[in-house]
Amino acid sequence: SIAQNQVTLKAEEAKHTINRHIYGHFAEHLGRCIYGGFYVGENNTRIPNTAGVRNDVVDALKKLKIPNLRWPGGCFADTYHWKDGIGPKEKRPSIVNAWWGGVTENNSFGTHDFLNMCELIGTEPYLAGNVGSGTVQELADWVQYVNFGKESPMSNLRRQNGREKPWDVQIWGVGNEAWGCGGNMKPEYYANIYRQYATFMYNYSPTRKLFRVASGASSNDYHWTEVMMRDIPTSLMEGIALHHYSVLTWDDGKKGSATQYSDEEYAKIMKQALLMDDYLTKHIAIMDKYDPQKKVAMVVDEWGGWYNVEPNTNPGFLYQQNTMRDAVLAGATLNIFHKHCERVKMANLAQAINVLQSVILTNEEKMILTPTYHVLEMYNVHQDALMLPVEVKTNDYVLGDIKLPAISASASKDKNGRVHISLTNIDPKQPQQITLSLGSVKATGVTGRILASGDVRDHNTFENPAKIKPAPFTGATLKGDQLTVTLPAASVAVLELN
């Protein structure tokens, strides 16, 4: 039976913009994200590339309009010494990637490779500095190396390595998961260390001030956020991070299959994903207490679903497939970020290629786009648009003792006045009918696109890469100021009003 859900646009209450940086991505030296994913080496004659970076990947990420890309980690960042990755490639030292499979890292992809790649993609770099095993001087030098235009030891070294103009990198992470792989620090200790590091990260550009992000809490660790906000002055911190993964358990091998999951596993993962709303509400309340003027941004720089690795792949490489579950998870999460866009100014899906909830998977010369890619592409109409608040009355999706909202929604108005409404049906079994009241928004017609498939476990493969792709949506009809929408089970739609 098709029940009734109610969505109401509250355009007259619109105040805040959806920062495009909410649509950011993450590229760690982990498994096949960099090597084989982004980068195949400049001597590769089999896979078309520009300075070693795959052309197919660049094209796909351009279409996605990715606003920023975080690098080189994650946990790897606090082991990374950036000077290992500059200068002639044959002279760069090989190191061990201790966190991720213990593989040899030959440093052939370094600072120049990454920053030039960002220029190619048309995305802003987000560099994660090494606090855990680095030094204040090392991070200060990195900032000078990439950002300083005049004479100095580091800017001269950059020129020697072939780059005249500074890249002018604005977004910087000051360590990663300092409570864990970034040094197992207590919050008070890290807050002090943060203050010290941030002090020596100079603004070399008079117009573009650095945007420094403090390592943030995991999921519902409110104490971490409390201490950061209490102990770090807003003059030293532009953003504070939050990491939240949708995961059944942190026990290795018990995270459930990325494709062959039960209905119960689906519901549990989706419940984890939807907790983002509650977590953000509570972290933001703490931030509001110390920073009522909202100077410091919330930066959710790691989010996504985390499952068992694909059978017969390196457990340290975190390579997982991506189904319609991930599409629904992404749609619902982005709707949550939109809702909190007054404080949430940036986010990074983990990770872009071949790691965790990827938008792209590669296998040698083959590349496929995942259902998650398509959701982020459909949703990119919301980037830098005015968020229109929505009131949502939803049916429940109930499985045993798990109760989830059946639908999730968000809306925005772009610079050309076009209104887009994103709708996600979380119910994996039943279509959902929605009555959508436009309120003061005037429309004469509606078009849209939808991502759906026969089964929530469906996914794209190298053999069948376009099984799941957006299709024109015909399930919405407009009558006066009301839309009637029927969303298929486990689907994501974006409507445009005319």
Name the residues annotated as catalytic: 177, 302
Under a CB-based contact definition with an 8 Å cutoff, are residues 345 and 298 in contact?
Answer: yes
In the block, residue with structure tokens 């600072």: 111
Cα dihedral 151, 153, 155, 159 sign:
positive
Closer to ligand AHR by CB, 73 or 448: give it: 73
Among residues 405, 411, 407, the alpha carbon closest in space to that of 424 is found at: 407
d(CA 72, CA 74): 7
d(CA 247, CA 319): 15
Closer to ligand AHR by CB, 359 or 407: give it: 359
- What are the angstrom distances between the C-alpha of 226 and each of 235, 240, 244, 327, 347? 17, 11, 17, 33, 20
Q: Closest separation between CB of residue 495 and ligand AHR, Å?
A: 33
Q: Closest separation between CB of residue 67 and ligand AHR, Å?
A: 19
Q: Closest separation between CB of residue 355 and ligand AHR, Å?
A: 7
Strand ranges in 338-475 using DSSP code E only, listed in sequence order: 344-349, 360-363, 366-369, 386-388, 390-393, 396-399, 402-405, 407-413, 419-425, 432-437, 446-451, 471-472
Q: Closest separation between CB of residue 73 and ligand AHR, Å?
A: 5
Q: Closest separation between CB of residue 357 and ligand AHR, Å?
A: 10
d(CA 142, CA 146): 6
Q: Closest separation between CB of residue 74 and ligand AHR, Å?
A: 3
Closer to ligand AHR by CB, 35 or 167: give it: 35
Site of interaction with ligand AHR (CB under 6 A):
28, 73-75, 176-177, 302, 350-351, 356
Among residues 29, 36, 115, 117, the alpha carbon closest in space to that of 79 is found at: 29
Closer to ligand AHR by CB, 110 or 175: give it: 175
Closer to ligand AHR by CB, 99 or 204: give it: 99
Element (H, E) at 174: strand 171-174
**Residue 479 in 3-state DSSP?**
strand
Q: Closest separation between CB of residue 302 and ligand AHR, Å?
A: 6
> Which residues on neighbouring strands pair with residue 171, listed in sequence order?
126, 211
**DSSP secondary structure string, 453-479?**
-SSTT-B--SSSTTSS--EE---EEEE
Phi and psi angles of residue 90, each rounded to the nearest 5 degrees, phi first: -70, -15
By DSSP bridging, strand 124-129 and strand 68-71 are parallel
Closer to ligand AHR by CB, 75 or 280: give it: 75
Name the region of 74 (left: φ>0; alpha: ψ -120 to 50; beta: rest). left
Q: Closest separation between CB of residue 380 and ligand AHR, Å?
A: 23
One-letter amino acid for residue 15 of the chain: K
d(CA 27, CA 349): 10
Under a CB-based contact definition with an 8 Å cutoff, are residues 17 and 448 in contact?
Answer: no
Closer to ligand AHR by CB, 276 or 350: give it: 350
Among residues 270, 266, 393, the alpha carbon closest in space to that of 3 is found at: 393
Closer to ligand AHR by CB, 360 or 489: give it: 360
The residue with its CB nearest to ligand AHR is: 74
Phi and psi angles of residue 31, each rounded to the nearest 5 degrees, phi first: 55, -125
